[in-house]
Amino acid sequence: MANLTNGYSHIESFLKIPTVKFTKLFINGEFLDSVSGKTFETVDPRTEEVITEIAEANKEDVDIAVRAAREAFDFGPWPRMPGAERAKIMVKWAELIEQNVEEIAALDTIDGGKLFSWCKAVDVPEASNILRYYAGAADKIHGDVFKTSRDLHLYSLMEPVGVVGHIIPWNFPTVMFLAKVAPALAAGCTMVIKPAEQTPLSSLFYAHLAKLAGIPDGVLNVVPGFGSTAGAAISSHMDIDAVSFTGSTETGRKIMQAAALSNLKPVSLELGGKSPVLIFDDADVDKAVDLALFGILHNKGEICVAFSRVFVQEGIYDEFEKKVVEKAKAWVVGDPFDPKVQQGPQTSKAQFDKILSYIEHGKTEGATLLTGGKPVGNKGYYIEPTIFANVKEDMLISQEEIFGPVMTLSKFKTIEDAIKKANSSKYGLAAGIVTKNLDIANTVSRSIRAGIIWINCFFAFDIDCPFGGYKMSGFGRDYGLEALHKYLQVKSVATPIYNSPWL
């Protein structure tokens, strides 16, 4: 493992960290203190030191933000603009993001422990691309004219759903912010966004850039706070028309209950995962090892689609196990600003402790710890890449989402056996298949109950491709035009036709 040097002097040798500029709630175009005056600490997971104090939104603050969003929707210009005008402003926002890529990437690195190089090269450019994609869709929203069997002119309108509540996770604070906000903006909605309390910094910076881009006051409001207060207030609010959430299945259930018990608002839930990858005997073992390892260690395993359950056909299992352990031991853990580092710290102390607890469960349940299993260094939330073998399907580490750098490794005999193992989970978010055989790829991809299947690849997302889950991984889709449509509703309009030569 790489040696850890957690002092800021070392960090500044890679990059001069920008000063945090925005720490208050963003409501109706202004940065404001919370009504209560309360703040909470956001902590740097590399050093365990407090970065800054963030204004803490409670129910009263959410009420104020919703009133601003409601006013902007009912009487403001945004829903009434031609789609092409909304698009111009969204493109301007995308340009501002591109001009500030390094600062935004640094904020996500200090706030969430993400690799600076990845944020700069992938996450932040992806955010601007998402905005451009939905800007392109903003002037292409239309209904249908129906050929009726009666003397009626009958057509449909696609109208914005109204005020939307977005509750976003801490593992991809930049991408998830824009994946929720961009299609809702294109549809003409206004919104209240609650970033995760662990990673609020980039969301507040995005709000600042949105204001500079010309998004009208009240259209976009950001209320950092805790799920039990600010998140609960959004979910149960009688004047929020829809909620989109990405996070844990447990929280998703609470949001759905709150929505049902309030104004029956529709919800979109992208929830937990326990994604399998099935590696068949014909696979290139070295490529399969690289794919499986990246699938569980990318973003320190804090990915809902992580390849946490690795199933290898018995003909190549022994070779695979030996090579994956060797590569895991060589994986570089350390300062996420260091371009040589492959894995930074877990996002928070709570997540760090949770992962270590699951590792202990794996040991006590009788799984074989092949490598890892311990913290790295004496400061920061770093954990060794961890691989368990001889994992039974009923073990906790095989059934529950760990959300960390922990792989469970098992073998299988037949295609039918592999499919059964892959589907033996309450989750159904993603799955992987590694094979050179097209028939196997086709059969297995159609047999696994998951929202996205990756054949000989991992993390192969595209803005145009919808993403979401089966089973307890939720419902609704982000990305693609499906995401735009969830922020629209259909209105049918009928007028009589008299003495027309045709219908």
Residue with tokens 């109950």: 449
Specify whether the CB–CB gap between 323 and 289 falls below 8 A. Answer: yes
Neighbours of 211 (CB within 10 A): 19
Residue with tokens 């490598």: 371
Helices (H), 232-300: 232-236, 249-261, 285-297
Q: What is the 3-state secondary structure (H, E, C) of 58-119?
A: CHHHHHHHHHHHHHHHHCCCHHHCCHHHHHHHHHHHHHHHHHCHHHHHHHHHHHHCCCHHHH
Instruction: Determine whether 60 is an active site residue.
Output: no
Distances (CA, A) of 344 to 327, 349, 376: 17, 14, 10
- Helix axis angle for 101-112 and 124-137, nearest 10°, is 120
Q: Which two tokens stand for residue 303?
A: 């990915």
**Burial grade of 500 (CB within 10 A; 0-12, 13-18, 19 or more):** exposed
**CA 214 to chain CA centroid, nearest Å:** 26
Beta strand segments in 396-487, E: 406-412, 427-428, 430-434, 452-455, 470-471, 474-475
Q: Which of 56, 126, 197, 270 is catalytic?
A: 270
Nearest to 127 by CA among 76, 68, 174: 174
Beta-carbon contacts of residue 150 (< 8 Å; ≥ 6 apart): 503
What's the CA gap between 73 and 71, in Å, rounded?
5
295 phi/psi in degrees, rounded to 5? -65, -25
DSSP 107-176: HHHHHH---HHHIIIIIHHHHHHHHHHHHHHTT-----EE--SSSEEEEEEEEE--EEEEE--SSSHHHH
Taking only Cα atoms into account, the Rg of the chain, rounded to an integer number of angstroms, comes to: 24
Q: Which two tokens stand for residue 333?
A: 């853990």
DSSP 375-410: B-SSSSS-B--EEEES--TTSHHHHS---SSEEEEE
| DSSP helix/strand/coil, 254 | helix
Residue with tokens 């210009």: 77
Please identify every residue annotated as catalytic.
270
